[in-house]
Amino acid sequence: MVDFIQSIIDYEKELDSNQNAIDDQNDLPVYHRINNLLDLFIASIGQIDLQQRLCFRLFALSIFQFEITMAALIGKLLMKLAQNKEDLEEILITFQQHLPSVYFEHTLIKLASNLSANDGSCFFVQQLSVDEKFQLALWFINEKNQPLFVFDLLKDHVFNKTSVDKQQCQILLCQMRQSKNLLLRQQALEYTVPWKKDGTIRDDNK
Angle, CA 114 vertex, CA 104 and CA 169 arms, to 5°: 90
Q: Are 122 and 84 in contact (CB under 8 A)?
A: no
Tell me: the pLDDT tens digits for 67-84?
899 999 999 999 999 999
Q: Report the predicted TM-score, pTM, of the whole model to 2 decimal places.
A: 0.86
Say what the pLDDT of residue 198 is. Answer: 78
Q: Are 75 and 107 in contact (CB under 8 A)?
A: yes
pLDDT tens digits, 85-101 = 999 999 999 999 999 99
Residues 6 or more apart whose CB falls under 8 angstroms from that of 104 comprise: 95, 96
Helix (H, G, I), strand (E, B) or coil at 195: strand
- Residues of the chain falling short of pLDDT 50: 205-206
Q: What integer pLDDT is reported at residue 205 of this predicted model?
A: 47
